[in-house]
Amino acid sequence: MVLFSLVATHADIDLETVAQLSTGASELATSALSGSPAVTGAVVLATCNRFEIYGEAPHPDDVEAARAALVAQISERTGLNEQLVSRSFNTRTGGEVSQHLFAVSSGLDSAVVGEREIAGQVRRALITAQHDGTASSGLVRLFQAASKTAKDVGAQTALGSRGLSIVSVALDLATDLSEDPDWSAKKAVVFGTGAYAGATMSLLRERGCTDISVFSSSGRAEAFVATRGGKALDSDSLPTAVAAADVMIGCSGSDTRVEADELARVRAGSPQTLIAIDLALTHDFDPAVGELDGVELLTLESVRLAAPQEQAESLAQASGIVTGAAAAFEQEREARSVDSAIVALRRHTMNVLDAEMEKVRARHGCTAAAEEVEFALRRMVKQLLHVPTVRARELASNGQQEQYIAALDALYGITVEQPAAAPAAECPVDHGQAGPASADIRRETA
């Protein structure tokens, strides 16, 4: 088995393309497994500035076929040209897969270096894949190791103590733009009820903001504010809340949004400046709202440009942890890859020995002579297996385990069985679909 990943991030392509690629992301892993024998496992990581697919293929030669199958499915789901989809992804295999994912989970590859949210998103990506039955055993180990590495980086470096996030940087920008930096006097409207909305609520309260309203057209606002505080809005009360707001923050990323002309109508005559913070990859707010009088628009790109640079010492320390963890993971994976081959060789040899001993017992019975013969044969077999076992470990440490497996097949006709996939963990995420609801300002389905 070989791990691979297809990576499209803010560092290589524009966020609009990332958003388009992410269309239908929740169903991609399941369809990939059913659509191509070259894909034996898949986990999809889709965030506000990246779309990444982690997969497992039976053999190295299958990676290109797996990539082609995934590109074709993404093209079909999004309507994008296959060539554009293919160009948007960087393909990683071998040690590059773990190195990249560990860096991502630790916040080293984020627009805001050291951000906190990404580690949770990596964990939830694995939980979703396990719930859907698409996470192979190799991918489970990869993502679990990534989460552990993120914890180590957070505990052992200054990145963890900074507490930076996309939301916190966005609120810092909003403070700079405000005529009055006192958040306790501001009225905020939050769109969405997901992880970013929860983080936004927490940070608003940390800054002293107490007048917070939440809108969700899917009807989840009441349950959301029940545990976090704030006021739930519906389609009737939303326009009034937006008209009086000092800040509105989009955290949902649905296929509909607050349109500029509708916002202009609702805000007509409002004396205070409105700061619109759009944290959704697919835009909760029409980009044209930034051209309206009395409206300041902040986007993910604004946050990326304003994100502070971390100290070189902290980054070097965190990078060292990531590199060490990735190397250890690869060594363990290489050693594990020959375990099945060693077991298969021993089983084959012992089956031959047992068959021969059955012949001896049939001829001589359970006599002392038969026992001496069995003892001698088992000792000989143990000695014969020693060198092949040692060589298996040596080849695995050099990344040549496939040669060993091929040799067993060529010499003995032994087929090495791959380990069974890890069982799915109980998923704490509610995957139910809520029906849409209309609103004067926008509609949110995520």
- pLDDT per residue as tens digits for the range 347-405: 888 888 888 888 888 887 778 777 888 888 888 888 888 888 888 877 776 767 778 88
Residues 148 and 255 in one domain: no
Q: Which residues fall within 8 angstroms of residue 442, CB to CB, at 6 or more apart?
A: 191, 217, 254, 256, 257, 258, 259, 284
Q: Which band of pLDDT confidence, cut at 50, 70 and 90, is reported for residue 163?
A: low
Residue at 273 is within a domain? yes
Residue at 318 is within a domain? no
Q: Which residues fall within 8 angstroms of residue 1, CB to CB, at 6 or more apart?
A: 40, 56, 57, 58, 136, 138, 337, 418
Q: Which band of pLDDT confidence, cut at 50, 70 and 90, is reported for residue 430?
A: very low
Domain of residue 262, CATH code: 3.40.50.720
Residue at 263 is within a domain? yes
φ and ψ at residue 165, rounded to 5 degrees: -155, 170
Q: What is the pLDDT of residue 431?
A: 34
Residues 258 and 297 in one domain: yes
Q: Which of 185-199, 235-249, 333-347 has the highest mean pLDDT?
A: 235-249
Q: Which band of pLDDT confidence, cut at 50, 70 and 90, is reported for residue 161?
A: low
Q: Kindly state the percentage of the chain with pLDDT values over 70.
A: 89
Q: Which residues pair with 187 in a beta bridge?
A: 211
Residues spanned by the domain of 288:
166-306
Q: Which of 128-137, 158-167, 430-439 has the highest mean pLDDT?
A: 128-137
Location of structure tokens 């069974």: 420
Of 48, 209, 366, 427, which residue is the catalytic one? 48
Residues 147 and 216 in one domain: no
Q: What is the pLDDT of residue 91?
A: 95
Tell me if 406 sits within 8 A of 392, measured CB to CB: no
Residue at 443 is within a domain? no
Residues 176 and 289 in one domain: yes
Number of domains the chain is built from:
3
By DSSP bridging, strand 274-278 and strand 295-298 are parallel
Residue at 385 is within a domain? yes
Displacement of CA 210 from its chain's centroid (Å) = 33
Mean pLDDT of 309-331: 84
251 a catalytic residue: no
Q: Is the pLDDT of residue 115 over 60?
A: yes
- pLDDT per residue as tens digits for the range 85-97: 999 999 999 899 9
State which H helix or E strand residue 215 sits in.
strand 211-215
Residues 11 and 145 in one domain: yes
Residues 55 and 98 in one domain: yes
Q: Which residues fall within 8 angstroms of residue 157, CB to CB, at 6 or more apart?
A: 314, 317, 318, 321
Q: Which of 110-119, 248-257, 282-291, 431-440 has the lowest mean pLDDT?
A: 431-440
pTM: 0.67
Q: Which of 196-205, 208-217, 331-340 has the highest mean pLDDT?
A: 208-217
Q: Which band of pLDDT confidence, cut at 50, 70 and 90, is reported for residue 142?
A: very high
410, with CB counted inside 10 A (0-12, 13-18, 19+), is exposed
Q: How far apart are CA 282 and CA 41, in angstroms?
A: 27
Residues 208 and 286 in one domain: yes
Q: Is the pLDDT of residue 102 over 60?
A: yes
Residue at 321 is within a domain? no
Mean pLDDT of 176-200: 87
Using DSSP's 3-state secondary structure scheme, residue 199 falls into helix
Q: Is the pLDDT of residue 335 over 80?
A: no
Q: What is the pLDDT of residue 160?
A: 64
Q: What is the pLDDT of residue 438?
A: 35
Domain of residue 131, CATH code: 3.30.460.30
Instruction: Enter the tokens of residue 8.
Output: 């499209």
